[in-house]
C-alpha cells in the first residue's frame, strides 16, 4: 500500500473526547490508541482523497468510456484473446 502522507513528520499532541467505557475497554486490551487512530485516520483520508479524485475526474472518465464504447480501444487489435 502506498502511503499518502509524510511518515517522517513530527508527532503532534492533540486532545480528543472518547466514550469512557470504550476507552477503558481499549486500554484493558492494550490497544495502542495513537497508532490505531493514525492508521484509521490515514485510511479515511485516503478514501476521501480517492472520492474527491473520482468526482473531479468523472467527466473525463465518462468521456473516455463513451469513446471506447463507440470506437473501441487501441489495444483491441493487439489482443490475442
> Does pLDDT of 31 surpass 80?
yes
* Domain ranges for the chain: 34-72
Q: Percent of the chain, pLDDT > 70?
A: 98
List of residues 6+ apart from 79 with CB closer than 8 A: none
- The pTM assigned to this predicted structure is 0.73
Give how far the C-alpha of residue 2 lies from the chain's centroid of Cα atoms, to the nearest Å: 10
**pLDDT tens digits, 11-28:** 999 999 999 999 999 999
For 73, which DSSP code?
Answer: -
List of residues 6+ apart from 33 with CB closer than 8 A: 23, 26, 27
Amino acid at each position: 500500500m502506498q502511503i499518502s502522507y509524510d511518515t517522517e513528520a513530527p508527532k503532534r499532541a492533540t486532545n480528543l473526547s472518547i466514550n469512557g467505557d470504550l476507552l477503558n475497554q481499549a486500554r484493558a486490551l492494550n490497544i495502542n490508541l495513537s497508532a490505531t487512530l493514525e492508521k484509521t485516520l490515514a485510511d479515511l483520508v485516503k478514501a476521501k482523497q480517492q472520492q474527491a479524485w473520482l468526482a473531479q475526474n468523472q467527466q473525463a472518465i465518462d468521456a473516455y468510456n463513451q469513446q471506447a464504447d463507440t470506437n473501441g480501444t487501441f489495444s483491441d487489435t493487439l489482443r490475442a484473446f
